[in-house]
Structure 1
């Protein structure tokens, strides 16, 4: 299963070459990831482990393959996000930024859950691992970015 985020393009996202700047894609991925993680937190609510992912998380790594230039237009792009890997204290998300059959970017992000109060990384809870497992896509993990 994948989560799809509809991402609007802004005129300010463009660079001097007339396409979306490479750095802006990180912002797009962040918006998709936050939308996805808040959706997960709302799906399960507060359980024995507390609310999943509401304590915070930090990015440990990004990997991006730019496949085609994306130029400004009024229609949003779709950002599909799924889970490539679930570890004890991290998870890897895969992404595709698409418009129909055209893929502009494939990317992955490693996130680490973070204890805001203690100011240190923490392990994933059982509830978080179970939620992430629902979005695990092993086909995507074995092809392209995010191996």
Structure 2
């Protein structure tokens, strides 16, 4: 079984909608916070800073399984479901307490911000992502 990167995200008052639930668009922001933690904080702790030079999102998919009420932090678990030469796919599960509230997927493309073009994954980046690689079912 692949390793999962786990990150707790604190909900903010501004995450709520008029019904007292986390707004559906804010789910992407919560997933982004977890992804940034993995590719900036987690990768840097592993001695890798190249992700900080640029990653763009080519695609998002989100399944909303239940409303998330404002309150305690949510737990986001992430892993890599696809690893290609110049792109990788991150899968997520968001838990509100012990309850699975959402699933999502992002296609990430390493990007050279200075030259404004996609780039290939480096060997150290592939090494960082490999422990998180797992085959998953379609969303």
**TM, length-normalised to structure 2:** 0.92
1:94 counterpart = 2:91:
yes
1:136 counterpart = 2:133:
yes
Query: CA deviation digits over 1:96-123, x for unaligned, max 9?
Result: 1103430111000001000111110101
Gaps of 5+ in 2: none
Per the alignment, residue 48 of structure 1 pairs with none
- Number of residue pairs matched by the alignment: 136
What's the CA shift for 1:5?
Answer: 0.7
What's the CA shift for 1:55?
Answer: 1.4
Q: Any residues of structure 2 matched to 1:107-122 within 5 Å, and which?
A: 107-122=104-119
Gaps of 5+ in 1: 46-50
Q: What is the alpha-carbon distance in structure 2 between the residues aligned to residue 9 and residue 42 of structure 1?
A: 25
Q: What is the alpha-carbon distance in structure 2 between the residues aligned to residue 2 and residue 14 of structure 1?
A: 27
Q: What is the alpha-carbon distance in structure 1 between the residues aligned to residue 19 and residue 97 of structure 2?
A: 24
Q: Any residues of structure 2 matched to 1:49-60 within 5 Å, and which?
A: 51-60=49-58
1:104 counterpart = 2:101:
yes
1:82 counterpart = 2:79:
yes
Secondary structure of the corresponding residue to residue 32 of structure 2:
helix
What's the CA shift for 1:11?
Answer: 1.5
Q: What is the alpha-carbon distance in structure 1 between the residues aligned to residue 23 and residue 96 of structure 2?
A: 17
Q: Any residues of structure 2 matched to 1:39-78 within 5 Å, and which?
A: 39-45=42-48, 51-73=49-71, 75-78=72-75
Consecutive aligned runs of 4 or more in structure 1 exceeding 3 Å deviation: none
Aligned CA-pair RMSD: 1.2
Q: What is the alpha-carbon distance in structure 2 between the residues aligned to residue 64 and residue 98 of structure 1?
A: 14
